[in-house]
Structure 1
């Protein structure tokens, strides 16, 4: 059983995107030498890296470009909500201002003063705004991108960092034409506008600019979905994880992406549990496993937007009663998650046998170690997989009704 356990954990680590090839080789060496404890320690460090990773995103552009509205949209907030970035038609940002995510504070959007204003001339902007501290940049314009925007992009490019051009308030541009009786295919028009912007930026010296046309008030329309996907794909695995978990659930696809990412954590949590299982200390494995499970379930719930605060923010943005959204959540996992709750879950058929074997063998040296490790791994893996599937199913229902336009759904 221990051999099977070793095979499964190593297979999981080799397929995980969280580890570099060098790290995988080191894990393999450690494992081959029989150092389960040291192997689990390295896995635990990786989990800690994921938990504590920070993501700093700079949002820059000229005054009135829609930076604050974009920052609020990415955090699932409205302009009137507590903690929202200030919105106005005059320069409201006089210094770089951090706006942390309300649920995941390690994700921080930095609202930058308008570039090129009298208060912030271009020659001082890069140093005063501390460009080296950000993971990537969003350069926003309401209409045309200017020479200042291009100069900022060149400075970012010199630092070897990613940047993206975002034309905001595209919905206003379209609705204005439609009110005047000018009708057109939106996707065709988007392509034309993007091509024109690309040509202008290329002439300004930006090679292959990455451009998105969005409305920060319509998170599933225009190029907003492509923008989210691009941001995620251009981050390393851990920072991709951090950004993904912070995204508001606006589509079923986002929920599925979160499921895939969270599923990768399960084998790591199970490995840490199994390492405790090899210690012949009565009751230690059970106590530690309960703590691991409680923290993991609460974390999964937050990541999938099923905590009370996230549901309220979603209700605010979609203008649906929060009670209506909560009615779609049909799982006992919304109750208080504590060690007593998890213990009851483990006593269900399918888990009781594994737990019983572990408790019986815990006091027995050597044999208890071998079976304890394997049973801990299996128990944690099975329970967390079941929990994740349950929460994902509920999150998908919530998203579906939240963004439904059916007249049968209350507004």
Structure 2
């Protein structure tokens, strides 16, 4: 009983702040002995960890399985966009091909040659493919999973990493049925395809209950959402946050998840500002506040897909002029962010005091109110919350307009 309660407390602490319970207790102890200045190093390290931790996702399967299209879909790209994984090339190399996320440089998708295209057994294949680099593996097939797929899954499992089976091109299956004049019961056909995949995997010695049926062109259908939820649920908290922030805006739910993740950074940035404000150098605190605010807002825009490049990619996908997408935006934060922009944001702030109790309950349940003091802290905290709220609302407006959601 005590063990369960302890695990729950750790989970609550991480979900609220990115810090473990032990790290939060250290912050509290450091604050009590040295004030805000003493806790900044741990906060700076945590922010650096959030920005620099890499997420490497390996995608493997036979040639023609739809790996490249899947990788492009996960990165919010069309196959014809600059930087997209090529879908018309024959597999002729043993080297993994890495594709960075277009906005978040610490997220990579790796297209691995299918094991069936090599002369190596599974254990040699994984060594050649730099196995240790990847956080998890997605094994894709456009028809039936074969013996080589099962061999690879067994070796991945033996080496202690996660893998997921994905059956792609479900939309093409249904198109073929329609062209053949077949009457389609979607639910029954999906059940038949899933069972066929599971039976073939069991024959090859893989006992799994999960095969995700997807179309890389229709995220709202079939198991695309289920696949992403499964990936999220099994990741550590920081990896999960990186994965969610890298995902294209396809629903209000995704955008709200991003907002919740970004909100966890705000108290850390405000605390760093508060520590600088304690240094008696004229103008230093304000200059640092400007830098913190500009950097945070630009990061928020990228994660919420409101930067120029993300809007253009969305326009390409939905065949909407980018000017029309921009026209539904209400915040002035899409343009250049500079000192004048920040000053105007400061003028808009009407709430200048934050309840220590409210702050403790919402963000730092272990520490309580120890950070809730200082004008610099309050300014950064309030302005960034205000900016994040506006940007989130605009991200929802843009997404709904782009995809025709009322």
Q: Map residues 150-165 of structure 1 onto 2, 5 A cutoff.
A: 150-165=150-165
Residue in 2 that maps onto 1:359? none
Unaligned runs of 5+ in 2: 1-11, 355-369
Residue in 2 that maps onto 1:72? 72
CA distance in 1, matches of 2:169, 2:372: 58
* Contact 2:94–2:118 under 8 Å retained in 1: no
Call closer, same or farther: CA 1:120–1:75 in 2, change over 3 Å. farther
Call closer, same or farther: CA 1:162–1:122 in 2, change over 3 Å. closer
The reply to whether residue 113 of structure 1 matches residue 92 of structure 2 is: no
Q: Map residues 61-140 of structure 1 onto 2, 5 A cutoff.
A: 61-88=61-88, 90-91=90-91, 94-118=94-118, 122=122, 124-140=124-140
Call closer, same or farther: CA 1:24–1:203 in 2, change over 3 Å. farther
* Contact 1:255–1:396 under 8 Å retained in 2: yes
* Contact 2:150–2:206 under 8 Å retained in 1: yes
The reply to whether residue 396 of structure 1 matches residue 396 of structure 2 is: yes
Task: Give the SS at the match of 1:137.
Answer: strand
1:84: how far off? 1.0
CA distance in 1, matches of 2:207, 2:31: 46
* Contact 2:140–2:168 under 8 Å retained in 1: yes
1:34: how far off? 3.9
CA distance in 2, matches of 1:28, 1:403: 46
Task: Give the SS at the match of 2:374.
Answer: helix
* Contact 1:61–1:115 under 8 Å retained in 2: yes
| Bigger mean CA deviation after superposition, 253-262 or 37-46 | 37-46
1:275: how far off? 1.3
Task: Give the SS at the match of 1:126.
Answer: helix
Residue in 2 that maps onto 1:307? 307
1:64: how far off? 0.9
Q: Map residues 346-357 of structure 1 onto 2, 5 A cutoff.
A: 346-348=346-348, 350=350
Q: Deviation string for 1:184-218 (max 9, x for gaps)? A: 33234323322332233233222335321001111
Residue in 1 that maps onto 2:258? 258
Residue in 1 that maps onto 2:201? 201
The reply to whether residue 379 of structure 1 matches residue 366 of structure 2 is: no
| Bigger mean CA deviation after superposition, 254-263 or 195-204 | 195-204
Task: Give the SS at the match of 1:33.
Answer: helix
1:58: how far off? 0.6
CA distance in 2, matches of 1:371, 1:32: 11
Task: Give the SS at the match of 1:267.
Answer: helix
CA distance in 2, matches of 1:188, 1:252: 30
Question: Normalized against structure 1, the TM-score is what?
Answer: 0.86
1:261: how far off? 0.7
1:260: how far off? 0.8
CA distance in 2, matches of 1:186, 1:98: 35
CA distance in 2, matches of 1:280, 1:397: 44
* Contact 1:202–1:209 under 8 Å retained in 2: no
Q: Deviation string for 1:14-56 (max 9, x for gaps)? A: 7625112222222222223243212122112101110111111
Q: Deviation string for 1:47-74 (max 9, x for gaps)? A: 1110111111111011111111111111
1:324: how far off? 1.8
The reply to whether residue 23 of structure 1 matches residue 23 of structure 2 is: yes
CA distance in 2, matches of 1:232, 1:64: 27
CA distance in 1, matches of 2:230, 2:56: 16
Task: Give the SS at the match of 1:116.
Answer: helix
* Contact 1:55–1:107 under 8 Å retained in 2: yes
RMSD: 2.4
Residue in 1 that maps onto 2:8? none
Q: Deviation string for 1:272-325 (max 9, x for gaps)? A: 111112223222211111110010011101110001100111111122221221
* Contact 2:14–2:20 under 8 Å retained in 1: no
Unaligned runs of 5+ in 1: 1-11, 355-369, 407-411
1:94: how far off? 4.6
| Bigger mean CA deviation after superposition, 336-345 or 177-186 | 177-186
CA distance in 2, matches of 1:399, 1:70: 21
The reply to whether residue 276 of structure 1 matches residue 276 of structure 2 is: yes
* Contact 1:278–1:372 under 8 Å retained in 2: no
Task: Give the SS at the match of 2:164.
Answer: strand
CA distance in 2, matches of 1:321, 1:186: 34
Call closer, same or farther: CA 1:79–1:266 in 2, change over 3 Å. same
Task: Give the SS at the match of 1:109.
Answer: strand
Residue in 1 that maps onto 2:58? 58
Q: Deviation string for 1:95-134 (max 9, x for gaps)? A: 2111111111211111111211256564631111111110
